[in-house]
A = this chain, B = another copy of it.
Amino acid sequence: MTIALAQLSAEVQAAVAATRERVAALHAELPRNQLVVWTAGNVSERVTLPEGSEVPGLLVIKPSGVSYDELSAQNMVVCTLDGAKIVDGTPDSLVPSSDTAAHAYVYAHMAEVGGVVHTHSTYATAWAARGEEIPCVLTMMGDEFGGPVPVGPFAIIGDDSIGRGIVETLSGHRSPAVLMQNHGPFTIGTDARAAVKAAVMVEEVARTVHVSRQLGEPLPIPQQSIDSLYDRYQNVYGQRSHG
């Protein structure tokens, strides 16, 4: 089933337009932070709908197979959470990212999540290929992840097993990032910007811990210190960025 954007209320249309601008702009952070090559990787954001909207839930996501240079608010694709495309005047040939079902599953099952990012960033994917979590041996991991970065199950495109794997791994976990086995990282946040930040940070810690372990064993951080770092970062500093 497809829905025409033009038939939705002006408020919904405005919310969609603003989300598209944000999501298009945030995609530029992926190549800039060397998290993606070619057309791989995608960012999505849940549209904040007015109370009692005529649609149950919408997300904005990257079109499939379009290069990063060509992304704009205009070619971001709008979908319902069951993955149906919203018809909106973008070229008919643009279809949502092949990972849309996984993003939609996360939004449908984690009410607090407003943004999702997926990449194949090198170091995070390298840990994922071994099915090995990243141990918490850096103070910045204590701040940002509150412990190790967990691994999610092996799952391939075709049913909702990727989405389920993400949700089951991250529900109740401090980490906003999961390393899907043999696949790559998915990150979540209260909005798309927070999820992009988590995608940048998971690659950073994946790389640094990898490099550290190449020549020996990094020193563990006591659990109490990890808790202290995480509490301070999340509570004293709230949603503020590191630095």
Contact = CB atoms under 8 A, between A and B. Distances in A.
B64 A204 contact: no
Interface string A107-131: 0000000000000101101110111
Contacts of A214: 126, 210, 214-215
A62 B243 CA distance: 8
Contact of A129 (B219, B229, B232): B219
Nearest to A197: B38
A125 B141 CA distance: 12
B120 A201 contact: no
A63 B132 CA distance: 36
A6 interface: no
A157 B232 contact: yes
A99 B67 CA distance: 29
B139 A38 contact: no
Contact of A242 (B98, B207, B210): B98
A41 interface: yes
A142 B120 CA distance: 14
Contacts of A41: 243
Interface in A192-243: 197, 200-201, 204, 207-219, 221, 225, 228-229, 232, 237, 240-243
Interface of A: 33, 36-42, 62, 64-67, 97-99, 120, 122-123, 125-127, 129-132, 137-140, 142, 154, 156-158, 181-184, 197, 200-201, 204, 207-219, 221, 225, 228-229, 232, 237, 240-243
